């Protein structure tokens, strides 16, 4: 069963061939905690370059370190997905495209084993906006 | 970086004999390509090292990297910006200027105009800043400060960045947005025009270093105003926070922050939460504490 899921997943995502850095940017939609990969978070962003990109402890962060906001997270596994879908801050950076899901830098625990989360790639550097607008996370 | 971005980058590098991508053939002046290869990378490294003081030194580097990052982009924009004409006008006058330069609608590619964030959030009039975003047009972007002031005819060499000087407008908190023939951007970003005299808030410490729901976080520093401090944190936005002594602020981590479900592979999850303070005198530096979920 585990093998089958891996195979199905492998053919259901886009395969990229480039190894060059690619720019990405958009509003953070939600964040997935990679429960089998220490320190990794999968950040799903919207337009203008929608996708899911993996933050790791090696990601170079620039001001304003603001991507991890309440209202923009959290999913921690297939069995407990929580996505409030309140857009968070803007992020802008570069990533190295992932060629196969098996090479994913984000693995999550689901039931009895760890599975690779299909993502677009690994973030090398990233900056964020400062948010002063999200009423969902405002405390007066 | 792909396609036209690379071609534009090569064109800029080829304007300086010291940073030519190639002397002849692909990549040379007039033969710029959309391929970011070794020649482009070498030329970009030369550019970064030529302007080492502004691109590399601020981030602790000595040798060029060949990576087209924020500092490189800012410098390139500054060099290639047509002399900024920060015309500050009332919106009605701006409309008049726009109509003079009007592009026939059929020739305008419609698309989302987005303002992601400025390179800095506060400064005096005359400060040069860069706005990162998408959907900017080459020559006719109008940058609004609230609905009361605007910089017209701002240029973007790549559709993603606009570099301009903060105009001479009164001190205050302004929402910034961009309007051009493609449309009008979001208005969720801001800029604080300061007087350059009153010190901006500074955070010296945030304690405890590790906290969870319901805990009080105390921030020590300077430049906090008696009222109207805004605390931007990874656990929420706290508005109009008071500081009786100008050196202390505090907030309570809300109880309603969602819990992270752990797994056998991850028994505990924690993450740094960053804090910034915004008030009428500017935006502070950042400090963090570890949030235990």
Is the minimum CB–CB distance between B100 and chain A shorter than 8 Å?
Answer: no
Q: How many CB atoms lie within 10 A of CB A91?
A: 23
CA distance B112 to chain A (A): 8
State mean pLDDT over B269-277: 86
Q: Which of B6, B45, B2, B48 is nearest to B26 (CA)?
A: B6
The DSSP annotation for B214-283 comes to T-EEEEEEE---SS-EEEEETTEEEEEE--SSSSEEEEE--TTSPPPP-BTTBS--EEEEEEEEEETTEE
For residue range A18-63, list pLDDT tens digits in order.
557 899 999 888 788 888 888 888 888 888 999 999 999 899 988 8
Cβ burial of A111 (10 Å; 0-12, 13-18, 19+) is exposed
In this prediction, residue B265 carries a pLDDT of 61
- A109 vs B contacts (CB less than 8 Å): 263-266
B265·A36 Cβ contact <8 A: yes
CB contact under 8 A, B258 and A38: no
Contact A33 B117 (CB under 8 A): no
Residues B177-229 have pLDDT tens digits of: 999 999 999 998 999 999 999 999 999 999 999 999 899 999 999 999 999 99
How far is A76 from chain B, CA to nearest CA, in Å? 6
* A112 interfaces chain B, CB cutoff of 8 Å: no
Are B244 and B285 a contacting pair, CB within 8 Å? no
Q: Do A76 and B261 touch (CB under 8 A)?
A: yes
Distance from CA of A78 to the nearest CA of B (A): 11
pLDDT tens digit sequence for B154-178: 999 999 999 999 999 999 999 999 9
- For the entire predicted model, the pTM comes to 0.67
A4 part of contact set with chain B, CB < 8 Å: no
At residue A123, does pLDDT exceed 60? yes
- A47 and B112: CB-CB below 8 Å? yes
- Token digits of residue A126: 């990233």
> Which conformational region is residue B174 in: left (phi greater than 0), alpha (psi within -120 to 50 degrees), or beta?
beta
Cβ of A132 within 8 Å of Cβ of B2? The answer is no
By the 8 A CB rule, do B168 and B190 touch?
Answer: no
Is the minimum CB–CB distance between B70 and chain A shorter than 8 Å? yes
Give the minimum alpha-carbon distance from B155 to chain A in angstroms, rounded to a whole number. Answer: 20
């Amino acid at each position: 069963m585990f093998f089958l899921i891996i195979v199905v997943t492998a053919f259901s995502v886009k395969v990229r061939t480039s190894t060059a850095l690619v720019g990405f940017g958009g509003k953070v939609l939600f964040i997935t905690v990679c429960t089998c990969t220490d320190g990794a978070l999968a950040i799903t962003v919207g337009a203008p370059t929608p996708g899911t990109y993996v933050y790791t402890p090696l990601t170079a962060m620039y001001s304003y370190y603001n991507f991890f906001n309440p209202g923009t997270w959290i999913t921690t596994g297939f069995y407990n997905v929580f996505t409030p879908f309140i857009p968070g801050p803007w992020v802008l950076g570069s990533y190295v495209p992932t060629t196969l899901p098996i090479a994913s830098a984000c693995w999550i625990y689901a039931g009895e084993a760890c599975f690779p989360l299909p993502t677009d790639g690994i973030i090398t550097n990233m900056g964020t906006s400062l948010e002063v607008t999200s009423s969902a996370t405002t405390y007066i | 970086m792909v396609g036209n971005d690379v071609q534009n980058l090569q064109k800029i590098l080829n304007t300086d004999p010291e940073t030519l991508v190639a002397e002849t053939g692909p990549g040379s002046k007039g033969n710029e390509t959309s391929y970011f290869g070794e020649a482009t990378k070498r030329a970009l490294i030369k550019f970064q090292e030529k302007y080492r003081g502004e691109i590399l030194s601020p981030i602790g580097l000595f040798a060029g990297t060949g990576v087209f990052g924020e500092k490189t982009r800012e410098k390139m924009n500054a060099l290639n910006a047509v002399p900024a004409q920060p015309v500050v006008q009332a919106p009605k006058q701006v409309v008049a200027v726009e109509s003079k330069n009007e592009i026939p609608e059929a020739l305008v590619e419609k698309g989302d105009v987005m303002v992601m964030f400025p390179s800095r959030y506060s400064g005096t009039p005359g400060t040069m800043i860069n706005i990162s975003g998408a959907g900017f047009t080459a020559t006719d972007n109008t940058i609004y400060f609230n609905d009361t002031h605007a910089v017209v005819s701002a240029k973007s060499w790549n559709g993603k960045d606009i570099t301009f000087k903060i105009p001479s407008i009164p001190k205050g908190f302004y929402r910034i947005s961009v309007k051009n023939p493609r449309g009008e951007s979001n208005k969720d970003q801001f800029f604080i025009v300061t007087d350059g005299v009153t010190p901006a808030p500074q955070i010296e410490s945030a304690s405890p270093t590790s906290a969870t729901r319901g805990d009080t976080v105390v921030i020590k520093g300077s430049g906090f105003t008696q009222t109207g401090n805004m605390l931007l944190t990874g656990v929420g936005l706290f508005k109009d926070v008071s500081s009786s002594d100008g050196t202390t602020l505090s907030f309570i981590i809300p109880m309603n922050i969602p819990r992270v479900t752990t797994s056998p592979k991850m028994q505990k999850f924690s993450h740094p939460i960053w804090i910034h303070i915004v008030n009428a005198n500017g935006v502070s530096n950042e400090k963090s504490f570890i949030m235990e979920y």
